[in-house]
Amino acid sequence: MDQKQLWEKAVAFHGHSCGGLAIGFQAARYAAELLGLTFSGDEEIVCITENDACGVDAIQVLLGCTAGKGNLMFHIRGKQAFSFYDRKTGKSVRLSFRGAPKDVPDGDYERYFLESSYQDLFDVKETTIPLPETARIFETYRCECCGEGTGAYWIRIADGKKVCLDCCSRYDRFNI
């Protein structure tokens, strides 16, 4: 697919075109170029995003990183920064968005981001978060209070019952 077709696919997935989507679009393309990435069918490629903004949708479309597969993770810091990892090669890169120059008119961000070189948009840095392990599958238990299925890792024992985090009373001796 060429750049125009990929952009149209990202816009269709996201629901509209915008500057934020263009940031993620360019980040995904730059990471693909730097690391030799293609679409991730499973967990071969991992993205840890430091925001939950529009650009994350472009990363899903272009690189196949999704929360459901466990290869799209959110480490919210309020930054337009994305860490990409290739499990096959062990290579990784963190792309930090520089922002738009002050002379870009308000309505022109999307065009500016799409027409700019990657190097003008992002600082390339080493990743600061170690590559997370692949997603685990946990046994499911029924919460003995609400009856909902809950992964074993998130079950607590309270008054001798297996309960989910929502039904478990919080214990904190400093904030009672």
77-129: pLDDT as tens digits:
999 999 999 999 999 999 999 999 999 988 899 999 999 999 999 999 999 99
Q: Give the domain extent around 23.
A: 3-125
Q: Distance between CA 119 and CA 121 in Å, rounded? A: 5
Residue 106, CB-side half-sphere exposure with 13 Å CA sphere: 0
In this prediction, residue 173 carries a pLDDT of 76
Contact 24, 58 (CB under 8 A): yes
Choose between 63 and 1: higher pLDDT. 63
Decide if pLDDT at 65 tops 80.
yes
Q: What is the mean pLDDT of the chain?
A: 95
In this prediction, residue 174 carries a pLDDT of 82
The helix (run of H) or strand (run of E) holding residue 124 is strand 122-125
Q: Distance between CA 82 and CA 30 in Å, rounded? A: 11
Q: Distance between CA 44 and CA 90 in Å, rounded? A: 10
Are 149 and 116 contained in the same domain?
no
Are 79 and 143 contained in the same domain?
no
CATH number for the domain harbouring residue 146: 3.30.60
pTM across the whole model: 0.87
CATH number for the domain harbouring residue 79: 3.30.1330.130
Provide the number of structural domains found in the chain. Answer: 2
In this prediction, residue 112 carries a pLDDT of 96
